[in-house]
Amino acid sequence: MLPALYAVTLFVGATLLFLVQPLVGKLLLPLVGGTPGVWNACMVFFQAVLLGGYLYAHRSITQLGVRRQAGLHLALLVVVLLAFKIAAAATGSPVPVFSSLVPADQDYPIAGVVTLLAAAVGVPFFVLSTTSPLLQRWFAATGHPAAKDPYFLYAASNAGSLLGLLAYPLLVEPRPEFTLAVQRWAWAGGVLAYLALVLVCALTVLRTRNAECGMQNEDKNPAPDLRTRNAEKTAGPEFRNPQSAIRIARWVGLAALPSSLMLGVTTHVSTDLAPVPLLWVVPLALYLVSFIVVFARWPDPVHRAVGRVTPMLLLFVVLSLLTGAVNPLGLIAGLHLAAFFGVCLVCHGELAKDRPPPEQLTAFYLWMSLGGVLGGMANALVAPVVFHRVGMVEYPLALALAALVRPRSEEADPGPPLRAGDVALVLVLLGLAVGLVLAVPRLVSLPPEPNAPDAMPARLLRGGLMFGLPAVAAFALVRRPARYALALAALLAAGTLDPGQLGATLHMERNFFGVVRVTRSADGRFVNLIHGTTLHGQQRADEPGPPRPLTYYHEKGPVGSLFRSLPADRVRRVAVVGLGIGSVAAYAKPGQEWTFYEIDPAVVRIAHDPRFFTFLSTCRAAKCDVVLGDARRQLTRAPDGEFDVIILDAFSSDSIPVHLLTREAVRLYVQKLAPAGVLAVHVSNAHLDLPPLVNRLAADHDPPLAARYRHDHPVKGAEDGKEVSQWMVLARTETDLGPMARGPYWEPVRGPPRGPVWRDDFANLLWAWKRKDTEE
């Protein structure tokens, strides 16, 4: 029964630890948006607190012994109860959110995000983070026969983490009755149940006489496999001799690499490859599964087999990055995730095979946690600053570093890891790759339209000629890890010389909200603003005079129809949520006042730079202002009835922030509209079926709003720069919509407005997922 008690407690604690992370992410969404940078900042906070918990567990047991430490920990449980009581008394919720802590006008609002997280869940999360090392160490001191090797409990902990991670999007979020308020109280209730389980575990330790002596029983009868491998390494002052320092550095490195790679692959897959909702769950789930597998007596033959396959997967991923491959989506995304999972299995498998005996358990977990924090900080804090002008370099860099890690039995001969001959071979490879990258574009050109029928064959032919032979040469160097890692780095370095389908990069800028690029098309006619793989704006570079609105804002598209339908005297003040390059400013007329709301300072700088785009600098309105910060927060400061038109066009890559499409958000928009005002919503999305959702929001409003929908298609060869787009217009009455209420291009949304309405305390992305029968 004793192992079951500890396993259940570890399982519950880990489940709560991972349930609170998406919950807090939803609470943060209205404040800082839903960009990958937000998730990365949250991950760094959680990993840092986890490190603090592991440090507390190690130092307190080392200084106090197990029994006295258990008494100290009981006092810490009381602090959690007090924290819940104070938060509930001050804010009415055990998980408080203080929006004033997050500044609205910073490139890197990381300090505010971390402070908000600390105030919301810092104390209970810290206590939960101590669970794995602390309870395993307690169990090892109980004298139970299974306590000789308590690492099996780590699998139970990671299983709970996996359940918490998957339960939220699949079980909690889809249920309308589980509002955010209910979720906060339910999580707090779960923490109280966990505290009761920890209390029982502490009592088992306090009743064990030899617990104060540390691990006397375990020293007399150590697990045979641990004794044979680690006796010399772990005896006495393990962490002070040079050999142990190398071992500790290896632990830290093996933990840091998968942590960094997890954030890198999450950002790449969910932003650059496919902005699919909830896709961020998959890398984290694979990360946790790898721990479960390798700490559950991972067989050596399987470990070696994974070590042989993973270098090949890494090469395929590098090739997909070099060629810009995004389709077929399932295959490419699966390739990235498979390579990531292989690296996790190899790195974590090496950690599991090098684990020390139980008396060094807390130190082992402490160094592992430090590695996880360092890997997360490298991506979330260091990379955005160091690689400010070069984009997402950390993911390719982590892939190259991953090629260094092999199972020890698979490592090359015991000589130096890198020889002069290896460097020479890599330099030859680099020269070959650079020569092909520079020569092939002169032989094979890409069509100017990325979605043209002949674009995919041209990309495959071009990429195969440029990188096929160098990739084969690189794989020939796979037997020596250091040489192979340099070979992959050489391929990636050569690939930076290829402008690709998006054209030559004129400017690149990165901050907390992602990477934005200004590119010039291959034919030189267009200058584009790109976020991830999504086109955010386009301007003709070969036309004199004021720029024409293109892409989703074309004069012959829905936005042009909107402004033609409204009499000029009805449009005095316009609000635009989402700046892009300011394309819609081309519709501004003298005497009007336009206000753009934009959360990303980099986008504001680029839109104002006349070297790239001139929509703002040539705006004809009497007033054309840009307000920096979250649009919903900033709109609350505008007077009621201020705007005749509000255009909602805020998205990060291909995802519209959920908090801008809730019942409360629509109520705010209508409140800020003039008596005959119109709300226009850009609902183009590759993965979410947004028109029915917006239609439900319109019908849910009191009184219901009039709504019309337009799905616009470009006419080939007739309208340059015009992209497929979907828009909806909402107003208080049909009369306010003018000609748009009568068609022929604008029409009601087909089908009844069924389904749940998104609210600030409930929004389920799975309900809005596009089905085949809704795709056009």
Mean local confidence (pLDDT), 623-649: 91
DSSP class of residue 410 equals: G
> Following CA atoms 252, 254, 257, 260 in sequence, which dihedral angle do they give, to the nearest 10 degrees?
-50
Distances (CA, A) of 39 to 33, 263, 266: 10, 9, 10
DSSP class of residue 523 equals: T
- Whether 292 and 155 have beta carbons less than 8 Å apart is answered as yes
The phi, psi pair for 679, rounded to 5°, reads -105, 120
* pLDDT digit string, tens, across residues 363-412: 888 899 899 889 988 887 788 888 877 778 899 999 999 999 999 765 54
| pLDDT at residue number 241 | 43
- Whether 540 and 525 have beta carbons less than 8 Å apart is answered as yes
| pLDDT at residue number 267 | 83
Mean local confidence (pLDDT), 660-685: 93
* pLDDT digit string, tens, across residues 89-141: 888 889 888 766 665 555 456 677 788 888 888 899 999 999 888 888 888 88
List of E strands, 512-584? 514-520, 526-531, 534-540, 573-577
Q: Which helix (H) or strand (E) holds 563?
A: helix 558-565
CA angle 373, 379, 382 (to 5 degrees): 95
- Residue 219 in this model has a pLDDT that exceeds 50: no
- Residue 236 in this model has a pLDDT that exceeds 60: no
Distances (CA, A) of 557 to 136, 623, 656, 683, 737: 63, 25, 21, 14, 16
Q: Which of 614, 656, 653, 646 is nearest to 731 (CA)?
A: 646
**Mean residue pLDDT across the chain:** 83
| pLDDT at residue number 239 | 38
Those residues whose C-beta lies under 8 Å from the C-beta of residue 189, and which sit 6 or more positions away, are: none
For residues 325 and 333, give the distance between their C-alpha atoms in angstroms, rounded to a whole number.
10
pTM beyond 0.95: the answer is no
| pLDDT at residue number 771 | 67
Q: pLDDT-derived band of residue 452, with 50, 70 and 90 as boundaries? A: low
- Whether 340 and 306 have beta carbons less than 8 Å apart is answered as no
Bridge partners of residue 594, in order along the sequence: 574, 624
The phi, psi pair for 28, rounded to 5°, reads -80, -25
Q: Residue-wise over 337-349: b if at least 16 C-beta within 10 A, else e? A: bbbbbbbbbbbbb
Q: pLDDT-derived band of residue 275, with 50, 70 and 90 as boundaries? A: low
Tokens 């306590």 sit on residue: 147
Mean local confidence (pLDDT), 199-213: 75
258 versus 267: the higher-pLDDT residue is 258
- Residue 613 in this model has a pLDDT that exceeds 80: yes
Q: pLDDT-derived band of residue 221, with 50, 70 and 90 as boundaries? A: very low
- Residue 282 in this model has a pLDDT that exceeds 90: no
- Whether 113 and 38 have beta carbons less than 8 Å apart is answered as yes
| pLDDT at residue number 223 | 38
Q: pLDDT-derived band of residue 736, with 50, 70 and 90 as boundaries? A: very high
**CA 467: distance to chain centroid?**
29
Those residues whose C-beta lies under 8 Å from the C-beta of residue 432, and which sit 6 or more positions away, are: 469, 470, 473
| pLDDT at residue number 108 | 53
| pLDDT at residue number 244 | 82
